[in-house]
Amino acid sequence: MSTPTPSAERVAVVTHATRYAGPGSVEGLRKAGYTVLCHDEDFLDEATRTAFEEGRDGAVACDAKTPTGAVGQAVRRYGRVDLVVSNDVYPARYLPVDQADPAELRRAAEALLVTPAAVIAKAAAPMKRRGSGHIVLMTSAAPLRPETGFSVYSSLRAGASAYARAAARELAPHGVTVHAIAPNFLESETYYPEELWGTDEGREKLRGLLPAGRLGTAQEIGDLVVFLGSGSADFLTGDVIHFTGGWA
């Protein structure tokens, strides 16, 4: 076994780093002084990894094919992982209950429930050995008000949030915290593209949909991730934090 590279002061892993809550998480963590190992499907290409790292001190694009592979790579490379952000992404596809497609359900379940559970398992072992660590699942607030036609997406996001709460109870005696951040109306091209919500019409619609009257920003969700990993409030664990601007 190769000897790990001497560790940075703090090491984080962010999955799907270019989508959903990934960009905000990466920026917040690297500015907070973490070495951030970033996973993304596009990072299998070396040129893409190089382009991503340019101008982002502290961010390291890894060539792991899977989120669990990225966690393993962090432990091998740095000898530790302090914070893992399982930023799980899958299209919120319209699928009425009377048109349920088992194949689509399995694909969505793999992305939104199986993958975060596997990431927790991969991160928990080294964190338990060290007696400390922080895990954050990016889920969704959609289950609070399931929309017609989106029962699959809402149900699986609810399952991931519940899994985070259960894992938190199991890992708390080992000094490991687990949280779910459940956004809705988060500024991201994945679910709230600028072309729709950055227009005058989109902004007017937002003012009628939620008290904050705007999308949450990447910086705000990044700051929340940094706080949860800071160690300053580790009695807080097992929470589902609704990042919704007052909508929930």
Give the tens place of pLDDT for each residue, 137-158.
Answer: 999 999 999 999 999 999 999 9
- What whole-number distance in Å separates Cα of residue 79 and Cα of residue 7? 6
- What whole-number distance in Å separates Cα of residue 245 and Cα of residue 178? 22
Residues in CB range of 130: below 8 A, 6 or more apart: 80, 175
What is the DSSP code (8-state) at residue 92?
Answer: -
> What residue spans of the chain are helical by DSSP H?
22-31, 46-53, 67-78, 102-109, 115-130, 151-171, 194-197, 200-209, 218-228
Whether 164 contacts 124, CB under 8 Å: no
Query: What's residue 103's pLDDT?
Result: 93
Name all domains of the chain by residue range, CATH numbers in brackets: 11-243 (3.40.50.720)
Estimate the crossing angle of helix 115-130 against helix 151-171, to 10 degrees. Answer: 10
Query: What's residue 138's pLDDT?
Result: 98
| 37 closest CA partner among 19, 49, 48 | 49
pTM for the whole structure: 0.94
Whole-Å CA distances, 136 to 16, 60, 125, 215: 13, 19, 16, 21
Give the tens place of pLDDT for each residue, 6-58.
Answer: 455 899 999 999 999 999 999 999 999 999 999 999 999 999 999 999 999 99
The residue-averaged pLDDT of 70-82 equals: 97
